[in-house]
Amino acid sequence: MTMADKLLPLIAGNWKMNGLKATARGLARDIAERARTTRLACDIALCPPAPLLVVVADAIEGAPVALGAQDCHPEPFGPHTGDVSAEMLADMGCRYAIVGHSERRAEHGETDALVRKKAAAAHRAGLVAIVCIGETLAERDGGKTIEIVTRQLKGSLPEAAAAANTVVAYEPVWAIGTGRTATAQQIAEVHARIRADAPPDIRILYGGSVNAKNAREILAVKNVNGALIGGASLKADDFWTIVQSVPH
């Protein structure tokens, strides 16, 4: 049995740029209450927008639910207006930090090299980095999926990446927020390659239109150690159905 088998799967909710104080508090409290009264087969993390981290931290206090951030700056402090350091996130109670999400790569021009620096910053602050990789539709149609995923993986993981401080999230860009989901065979193929190239025993999540209806099939695929959830994480019932879909 590998460490990936021993580590619980991770179900992480990426709220993206959604939520106000009242809705964030209510959603986080709902998830926290369910987690307190359930025998869990997975780790749970909620990753709200930065302004809502304190609200969510208060709402989940004492529950088996971890707090995560959606990004971090490579530097610990300095003249970086609008940015947040990993140390600040850790000080706010975060356990995880997502880095390299495809929306950050596309909208902010983040390169593999920058993602690697951000992951290293998360490690420096004692956070677990959730490093995102994935191909576009054009790259998939061009038969370049494995090439792109391999390049991003090798370019985005710092040397210190290990199962204890890093999670890899495979999110095909063409499946994020589109309602399209990779087939079980497609997921298995990519996750097998990531497993071969990644540090030993690291958890590999799948993300991309995972929802309450398809979660059980996806989470049963070999080398899938959890999921990074977008839209479905904004509805407590849907998110909890995904949590309960993790194989026991």
Catalytic positions are 101, 171
Give the chain's end-to-end CA distance (angstroms, integer).
15
Task: Quickly list H helices, 180-248.
Answer: 184-197, 215-219, 236-243
Are the beta carbons of 226 and 219 closer than 8 angstroms?
Answer: yes
Q: Tokens standing for 25?
A: 């508090």
Token readout for 216 is: 């059980």
Task: Measure the CA–CA gap between 158 and 99, rounded to whole angstroms.
Answer: 12
Other CB atoms closer than 10 Å to residue 115's CB: what's the count? 25
Q: Tokens at residue 127, please? A: 């956070």
The values of phi and psi at residue 163, to 5°, are -60, -30
Taking a C-beta distance cutoff of 8 angstroms, is the pair 67, 60 a contact?
A: yes
